[in-house]
């Protein structure tokens, strides 16, 4: 705000939306007044909004800002809503996680490395409100889903995962944006034959398998002269031997990039 031809100052204004930010009221209400110190106008700076949040806390919305700066520091002032924003109904998807996922997945599983076809997706739903809700008998629930991947049917690539929980009765519009969560680039399904897990099946993969052709693990077949070349990622068939299946799978999917 302009105070004079040589001075301007900060004033914190408030405005509101009733449709989750799609539209805002045109009027702006000053929440602080024009305030200049003895040497300069530096009050009402760096505002930050936060909602007090915990069971038993009033859940007011606060705005903190700095004012009265001096040589050795400044004051932090706060404004808060007139009425507590509670009790409310509010559930949220707070976390999406994967079980036994190490950064990549082979569609249909990979027996030699202990990976099966089912990828387990865990979704955590929290009750952030003040009431017991039907979606949660406790404060937090974790729901697990099995995603059955199928060899040569689940396409290689990067997958996003979305989780949505329905609004509970009485949940206000402003409390619904956290009812869904999307994690992009979350699961990397590798092309079959990508034995070095770089996301593509190329001559590198084929040549590595060919070089180890016939190898069996030394722990099982110490008599195998090339057992030291055995790599479970080359054992696509899960037979215990780097065999022709691996070579044919890699060649059949040659040139797939993700
Ligand atoms: Ca919510
Ligand atoms: Ca590769």
pTM listed for this prediction? 0.76
Q: What is the pLDDT of residues 74-132, one digit of tens each?
A: 899 999 988 878 888 899 999 999 998 999 999 999 999 999 999 999 999 988 888 88
Look at residue 19 and give its three-state secondary structure. coil
pLDDT digits (tens, 9 = 90+) for 171-230: 999 899 999 999 999 999 999 999 999 999 999 999 999 999 999 999 999 999 999 999
Ligand nearest to the CA of 254: 2
Contact 141, 132 (CB under 8 A): no
Q: Are 232 and 220 in contact (CB under 8 A)?
A: no
Residue 234 Cα to ligand 1 midpoint, Å, equals 47
* Biggest alpha carbon–alpha carbon distance for the chain: 92
Rg (CA), the chain: 30
Ligand nearest to the CA of 205: 2
Give the model confidence (pLDDT) of 54-77 as tens digits. 766 777 889 999 988 788 888 999
pLDDT digits (tens, 9 = 90+) for 7-45: 778 889 999 998 988 999 999 999 988 776 555 667 888
Q: Ligand 2 center to residue 7 CA distance, Å?
A: 64
Token pair listed for 236: 């696509």
pLDDT value at residue 246: 96
Provide the 3-class DSSP secondary structure of residue 229. Answer: helix
Q: Token digits for 128?
A: 């952030």
Please tell me the distance between residue 157's alpha carbon and the centre of ligand 2 in angstroms. 13
Q: With a cut of 50, say whether residue 138 has pLDDT above it.
A: no
Alpha-carbon distance of 75 to 47, in angstroms, equals 13
Q: Tokens 């079980």, residue?
A: 99
């Amino acid at each position: 705000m302009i105070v004079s031809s040589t001075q301007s100052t900060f004033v914190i204004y408030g405005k509101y939306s009733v449709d989750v930010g799609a539209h805002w009221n045109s009027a702006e209400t000053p929440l602080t007044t024009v305030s200049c110190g003895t040497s300069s106008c530096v009050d009402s700076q760096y505002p930050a909004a936060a909602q007090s949040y915990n069971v038993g806390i009033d859940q007011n919305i606060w705005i903190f800002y700095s004012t009265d700066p001096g040589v050795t520091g400044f004051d932090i002032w706060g404004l808060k809503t007139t009425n507590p924003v509670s009790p409310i109904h509010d559930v949220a998807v707070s976390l999406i996680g994967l079980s036994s996922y190490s950064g990549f997945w082979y569609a249909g599983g990979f027996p030699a490395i202990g990976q099966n076809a089912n990828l387990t997706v865990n979704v955590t739903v929290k009750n952030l409100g003040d009431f017991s809700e039907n979606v949660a008998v406790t404060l937090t629930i974790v729901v697990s889903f099995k995603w059955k991947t199928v060899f040569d049917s689940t396409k290689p690539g990067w997958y996003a995962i979305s989780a949505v929980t329905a609004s509970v009765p009485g949940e206000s519009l402003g409390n619904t944006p956290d009812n869904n969560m999307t994690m992009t680039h979350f699961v990397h399904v590798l092309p079959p034959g990508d034995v070095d897990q770089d996301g593509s099946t190329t001559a590198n993969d084929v040549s590595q398998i060919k070089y180890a052709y016939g190898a069996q693990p030394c722990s099982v077949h110490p008599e195998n002269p090339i057992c030291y070349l055995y790599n479970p990622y080359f054992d696509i068939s899960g037979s215990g031997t780097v065999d022709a299946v691996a070579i044919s799978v890699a060649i059949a999917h040659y040139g797939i990039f993700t």
